[in-house]
A and B are shown apart, each in its own frame.
Chain A
């Protein structure tokens, strides 16, 4: 089981984990109200670095995002004795947008180099769940023996691009957010970096016991109203575990109407109504790619002290199901309550649950290693492959019209999603009429997973969205274009079409590295019941320059 060697949080509340923890304990919030910032007409509240903080964090020759990530990783590494030049260390960067207009893989390459790392970094780009996805990937890669250490860095900086996009979705509050509260009216965006250094050995105090990712296969933006994906993720992780060991469930709690309501459903359905919740967005806002890492670290620190952190902004319960959430600090027994659950959900229908435990593992937790012993652990092999590229002579629209049709949503999709859609529709033996994959209808459970890779992220949609906000006199940010500036929406579209309810992941690599892609696929689905997988490379540099090679996989 992997364990935590070291952590860092770099946020407007402080540049170390301890500074952040003490700030949160004293009730401080980094949220402030802004009006007219970045030329945005509508006011908004956000957690942003001050000019002085930005100056202190800046590293010459690096972007703001890169500098922030490097500072956070370096501070975390300073508490370890790792030889950064070792080939046994991997950097996993969790970010949703990195630097706008540039592939996150370039930022990851620059950060890895600045840290002195030698192996190719991996970017996890699964919208809001990325920070916990990245930790599960670290767990998988280390448990499979591919590396000894993983440096998971979640980082996000805010901009006119992101704030205007969430405003166009009517999801942003102009006041500090109120998770789970009756008066909640939207999220706040935040910037931060957070780092966890994981070790393959159990030499750290905190352990990542198990995790699961499940897709709603419901809508690309709205969560399942009954919390289907999140419930399934929690159940997969908590099956056979003793829930009385849970000190807390650290929820996503974005303070949007739909997210918090959905989470309350999933918590009730999973039988966790009596476990104290902590919702931390009232301190930092939604720090997107950093959120899952940052909130995990704070919850570890609070559980060390026997504390459930107060959910700042919460006053009166405003969700339909009973949950145990409070605005004041709650004590828990350090000896008994040594575990916590982290939940997170995001666009593209993603939901992730992860279970963490403190100290020695002598209290009957089922670990991934236990699960592996009872499973068929074969590797995944390709059964069918489809290749599409801009040089084929036929456009995606032509293929759609001639071979597919009758799916009007196709015309709303961006290039990446259209590419994924056309590829999977023409990928024998998948049914073309959008029916479930055979393994699901076969009734043996397990579902289907989708794991996609590329280099350019969502660069085409990024440019298109920028064109809707670049002119102050013609400023009409498009919500439908903004949604597709998250590349994992392509996986979400396929999940909806084929009812794929297992893991959906999107990774951004330096280049098309088939060895690494196969390693990630094998490692991340090693301890999974999943029956079939759609995986491969899907990249678009422009509307007329794209490449896709997707395959179905089965276990050997």
Chain B
């Protein structure tokens, strides 16, 4: 799980061009969206959807249903692990 979380942090930082976010400051529990969090937007969600397909082979047809999944890096990791174990 920890390895998956770290991989996701690196992949999200790269795919979303979060160049000013240091990996050591990238907490897996911080909300990804909203002003109190990392501040990602709707296009960023869609880019994470592409990332999950590209890196983990997970296809999400309706990302709106999975809003809870994109709460934080940890919730994404839990989702990836759940899908992979099914």
Contact = CB atoms under 8 A, between A and B. Distances in A.
Contacts of B64: 170
B50 interface: yes
A168 B18 CA distance: 20
Interface string B40-72: 011110110010011000000011100000000
B50 A168 contact: yes
A453 to B, nearest CB: 26
Interface in A460-499: 476-480, 483
A411 B62 contact: no
Contacts of B18: 408, 411
A411 B42 contact: no
B47 A479 contact: yes
A480 B62 contact: no
Contacts of B47: 478-480
B23 interface: no
Q: How large is the interface on A (under 10, 10 to 19, 20 to 34, 35 or more residues)?
A: 10 to 19
B62 A170 contact: yes
B50 A170 contact: no
B45 to A, nearest CB: 9
Contact of A479 (B19, B21, B50, B53): B50
Nearest to A412: B17
A222 B42 contact: yes
A168 B20 contact: no
A398 to B, nearest CB: 13
B50 A411 contact: no
Nearest to B18: A408
Contacts of A226: none
Contacts of B17: 411-412
Chain A interface mostly = loop
Interface in A168-195: 168-170
A170 B20 contact: no
Contacts of B50: 168, 476-479
B2 to A, nearest CB: 26
A221 B21 contact: no
A219 interface: yes
B20 A219 contact: no
B42 A221 contact: yes
Contacts of B43: 169, 220-221, 479-480, 483
A170 B61 CA distance: 8
A4 to B, nearest CB: 38
B19 A476 contact: no
Contact of A411 (B19, B46, B53): B19
Contact of B63 (A170, A220, A411, A476): A170
Contacts of A219: 41-42
A476 B48 CA distance: 12
B20 A169 contact: no
Contacts of B20: 408, 411
A139 B39 CA distance: 42
A302 to B, nearest CB: 35
B4 interface: no
A477 B20 CA distance: 25
A169 B46 contact: yes
Nearest to B63: A170
A452 B27 CA distance: 40
A388 to B, nearest CB: 20
Contacts of A222: 41-42
Contacts of A480: 16, 43-44, 46-47
Contacts of A478: 47, 50
A168 B47 CA distance: 9
Interface in A248-294: none
Contacts of A483: 43
Interface in A121-172: 168-170
A225 to B, nearest CB: 12
Nearest to B21: A408
Nearest to B55: A476
A220 B44 CA distance: 12
A241 B56 CA distance: 58
Interface string B2-35: 0000000000000011111100000000000000
Contacts of B53: 476
Contacts of A479: 43, 46-47, 50
A347 B37 CA distance: 25
A483 B17 CA distance: 15
B46 A412 contact: no
A479 B64 CA distance: 15
B44 to A, nearest CB: 8
B51 to A, nearest CB: 9
A478 B18 CA distance: 16
A169 B46 CA distance: 7
Nearest to A481: B47
A168 B46 CA distance: 7
Closest 4 CB pairs of A and B: A411-B17, A479-B46, A411-B19, A408-B20
Given A220-B43, A476-B54, 14 more contacts: A168-B46, A221-B42, A222-B41, A222-B42, A408-B19, A408-B21, A411-B18, A412-B16, A476-B50, A479-B50, A480-B43, A480-B44, A480-B47, A483-B43
25 contacts: A169-B46, A170-B62, A170-B64, A219-B41, A220-B43, A222-B41, A222-B42, A408-B21, A408-B39, A411-B18, A411-B19, A412-B16, A412-B17, A476-B53, A476-B54, A477-B50, A478-B47, A478-B50, A479-B43, A479-B50, A480-B16, A480-B43, A480-B44, A480-B46, A480-B47
Interface of B: 16-21, 39, 41-44, 46-47, 50, 53-54, 62-64
Interface of A: 168-170, 219-222, 408, 411-412, 476-480, 483
